[in-house]
A and B are shown apart, each in its own frame.
Chain A
Amino acid sequence: MTSTPVIDEEASPVAERKPKPALAVTLPNAFKHGDVFTKGSALIMGLGNIVRKQYLKGLLFLAVQAIFIFTLVRYGISQLAGLSELGPVTEGTQGWNENNEFVNFPPTNSVEVLLYGVAWIFIIGAFIVAWAAAIKSAFAAQMLQARKGETPDLVSDVRGLLDGRIHVSLMSLPLMGIIVFTVVPLAFMILLAFTNFDRNNTPAFNWVGFETIATVFSPEKGNSGVNLTVFLRVLAWTLTWAVFATFLNFFFGMFMAMIILRNGTRFKSMWRAVFSLSIAVPQFVSLLVISQMLQDQGIVNQLLKSWGWIETSMPFFTDAWWARATVIVVNLWIGIPYTIMQVTGILQNIPGELYEAAEIDGANWWQAYTRITLPYIFFVMTPYLITTFTGNINNFNVIFLLSNGAPFTVGESAGHTDLLITWLYKLTVDRGDYNIGAVIGIATFIVLATVSLITYRSSASYKNEEGFR
């Protein structure tokens, strides 16, 4: 929809009546050079297509418009209006309805009011996209007819969708999935941060502006168990955890993959199979099992005691620092096999001639390693590393199933190994404070976005996508 330089050339005083064939199909061009049918497509979608004998396409656009206007009038306007006040009826009452029956009048279900409102905002957005597409399609048809005297039929349209415009056909379903099941829910959750949707205000709640955010970031100890001190402590641990979990996994995994791949190592596939064994065991199983093994009365402590190595149980999950070290080490057990698998694949994929060239130039293995292997691995793995890092900040399973945030301090809503994400879970699912949870979620996002956009933008694979082609 952005204006292209082509327009400036076209806007010369000697304006032709018929647009040149090379004219770009954009909205401004369509309005500037379109004929009455093209411009009319802005009011009646599909008009331009129908006039130029693209009946099916035109009728499709028309149907979209009809359905949209019908549902907007029937449901959309009232549901959009509901956004202004989410929960007008806060208390359920009883009374007589119009049929003289004694019934319950439930309080407003504010969740649904907000959901429908948000959904309508996105539906309108989608309609605007369809509207722009209709005008552009009409303009394209007009130009093609002017140039060739006929418009392409449906068959060649479909053929185009498999060739030059294949991104449209391949992307539409995934994109729709992302918007409906990721973007809309996120928009909904973000809006919750500005409401008072906690365990006391359900099902009806209302907008409160920045009040909830102020609660989370105020230094005073409120009765919600959430304040700035707790937040900063959880945040600091989340970041520490993510750094250790990501980079220890990567370097140990790469190290082990290279030991397995080195020339002298025998039984390569056996080693790989042994380390893949733990991938075959579902993660939650191994986490729960290891968590059981490391309990105060668990098998590890029992054995060490019976061998006489220790007197009292090792405080795997009862001392804050022990617990933190434990989750990081156990996470290595979980993560290294994945890294081995990935790095092995990448190492085997490095073009052999790079090494041949290095050898001819007299490089030793260390030089080859630092100048070829490492850059190549980083080139392929940087996006993976960044996603692993963000994944670790959001690593719910390891913390929840292993330590469940333990140990806890009384009066605080987060334990000493709680990450932002497990804290969010406890605040919402266990306690029902969805508004505070939403604030924590947004905070998590801001942390992640800042860290990873900086790293990603400075990485080689972003700056130079074709680097290793």
Chain B
Amino acid sequence: MTDITSTNNDQVSSASAKKAGSLRARRLTGNIVSHTFLTVMAVLWVVPVVWIIMESFNKQTGPYMSTFFPTEYTLDNYVQLFTNSSVIDFPAMFMRTLIVSICVCVIQLFFVLSVGFVMSRLRFKFRRPFMNSALILGMFPGIMAALALYFMAKAMGLTETTGGVMIALVLVYSAGSGATFYIMKGFMDTIPMSLDEAAMLDGCTRWQIFTRIILPITKPMMVYQAIVGFLVPWLDFVAARVIARTQDRYTVPVGMWQMLQREYITQWFARFAAGAVVVSIPIAILFIVMQRFYQSSMSGAVKG
């Protein structure tokens, strides 16, 4: 779209020198307006993030203060967060969530890639019924399945131990993820079928088509899917709250939510901020790495 604007403009400007001046002016105003707009928006997006980082160094532990940024700074919140595990054991929560999220990321990526490929590339009898039922299943509130899974885990004795709760969490987050293939399928649908046909002529099996042709092209979407899968346990609140009912099994979101409850908040708000920073760092690093990967493979995807 942008290409067209410029080339069109070029043609017009070569045709009439008088118009060129006004066009340049228009383009200049456009640039000014859009840059101002982006700057204002960027500030809105950055301010809460900066605020919470500053708060994590606040000497005052309570949430309500009169100045935007803290008046006194300290590292104590971080030290407390990782050493004082008597009330809310943050390091243990962090490790639990990390392990669960790695498992979920791997399983979900595998499931979604498999189902996405099959739905995009193959035609068989149960394809339509499966696609329709996946859509229908996605319309049930996730908490419904989570509630029943809690009862199932309880019947199997999984809710008795921390490890069991973690297994139950991994299952809640990843086992049904094969039904969330639609974005992946949508992306694979834009890869021309002629690539598959050429490969078939060269004697490739479908498995080889999957691993050698579709997967490399699908890298950007794999990255997207990996982010999504990894983030699930870090973002989900409701399933974790339903499954992990006692504090020593909480994941990070539930634990940090608890820090802001009435009985904790005056002591824990600054430590909550510190926790927020600590949690965001691995995710941010991962995200930046993936983002770079995402963009480079995006521009290298199949084009005509």
Chain A contact residues, CB within 8 Å of chain B:
2, 111-112, 115-116, 159, 162-164, 166-167, 170-171, 173-175, 177-178, 180-186, 188-189, 256, 258-266, 269, 271-286, 288-290, 292-293, 295, 297-299, 302-303, 306, 333, 337, 341, 345, 347-349, 351-353, 355, 358-359, 363-365, 368-369, 372-373, 380, 383-384, 387, 390, 394, 396-397, 400-401, 420-421, 424-425, 428-429, 434, 437-438, 441, 444-445, 448-449, 452-453, 456, 461, 465-466, 468-469
Contact = CB atoms under 8 A, between A and B. Distances in A.
A196 to B, nearest CB: 16
B294 A345 contact: yes
Interface string B279-296: 110011001100100110
Interface in B196-213: 205-207, 210
Nearest to B55: A289
Contact of A282 (B149, B235, B238): B235
Interface of B: 1-8, 27, 30-31, 34-35, 37-38, 41-42, 44-46, 48-49, 51-52, 63-66, 68, 110-111, 114-115, 117-118, 122, 124-125, 127, 130, 134-149, 151-152, 154-155, 171-172, 174-180, 182-183, 185-187, 189-190, 192-193, 205-207, 210, 220, 224, 231, 234-238, 241-242, 252-253, 256-257, 260, 269, 272-273, 276, 279-280, 283-284, 287-288, 291, 294-295, 298-299, 301, 303-304
A163 B206 contact: yes
A383 B172 CA distance: 23
Contacts of A283: 235
Contacts of B187: 380
A438 B34 contact: no
Given A178-B137, A265-B31, A274-B46, A167 B122 contact: yes
Contacts of B178: 171, 173-175, 177-178
A263 B145 contact: no
A348 B3 CA distance: 11
B143 A276 contact: no
Contact of B151 (A115, A272, A286): A115
Given A259-B34, A355-B1, A180 B144 contact: no
A70 B42 CA distance: 65
A115 B7 CA distance: 66
A261 B299 CA distance: 13
18 contacts: A115-B148, A170-B117, A173-B114, A174-B111, A177-B175, A182-B137, A186-B148, A258-B1, A274-B46, A275-B45, A284-B235, A288-B256, A299-B68, A349-B301, A387-B180, A444-B141, A452-B135, A468-B190
B60 to A, nearest CB: 12
Given A265-B35, A288-B257, A166 B122 contact: yes
B183 A282 contact: no
A285 B8 contact: no
A174 B145 contact: no
A445 B140 contact: yes
B287 A276 contact: yes
A286 B35 CA distance: 26
Contact of A265 (B38, B42, B136, B234): B38
A82 to B, nearest CB: 13
Contacts of B234: 282, 284
A449 B136 contact: yes
A273 B291 CA distance: 9
A185 B144 contact: yes
Contact of A449 (B124, B139, B280): B139
CB-CB nearest 10 A-B residue pairs: A174-B178, A185-B148, A181-B175, A280-B284, A182-B176, A177-B175, A448-B139, A162-B207, A170-B114, A163-B205
A26 to B, nearest CB: 10
B179 A182 contact: yes
A163 B210 CA distance: 10
B44 A333 contact: yes
B175 A182 contact: yes
B283 A280 contact: yes
Contacts of A438: 144
B118 A282 contact: no
Contacts, number: 322
Contact of A180 (B46, B125, B175, B190): B175
A423 B10 CA distance: 58
Contact of A421 (B143, B148, B183, B283): B143
B114 A424 contact: no
Contacts of B52: 281, 285, 289
B182 A387 contact: yes
B149 to A, nearest CB: 5
Contact of B186 (A167, A306, A355, A380): A380
A401 B257 contact: yes
B147 to A, nearest CB: 6
Contacts of B4: 355, 358-359, 363-365, 368
- Most chain A CB inside 10 Å of its own CB: which residue of B1, B3, B66, B287: B1
Given A288-B260, A438-B144, A452-B135, A355 B3 contact: yes
B1 A373 contact: yes
A286 B147 contact: no
Contact of A365 (B5, B125, B140, B257): B5
Given A280-B284, A461-B186, A303 B45 contact: no
Contacts of A351: 303-304
A424 B141 contact: yes
Given A271-B42, A345-B224, A358-B4, 13 more contacts: A111-B155, A171-B178, A180-B175, A256-B41, A274-B42, A281-B49, A288-B256, A341-B224, A349-B301, A355-B4, A396-B142, A452-B139, A456-B135
A349 to B, nearest CB: 6
A290 B48 contact: yes
Contacts of A295: 63-64
Contact of B141 (A277, A349, A400, A421): A421
A441 B144 contact: yes
A465 to B, nearest CB: 6
Contacts of B272: 288
B9 to A, nearest CB: 9
Contacts of B304: 351-353
Contacts of A390: 138-139
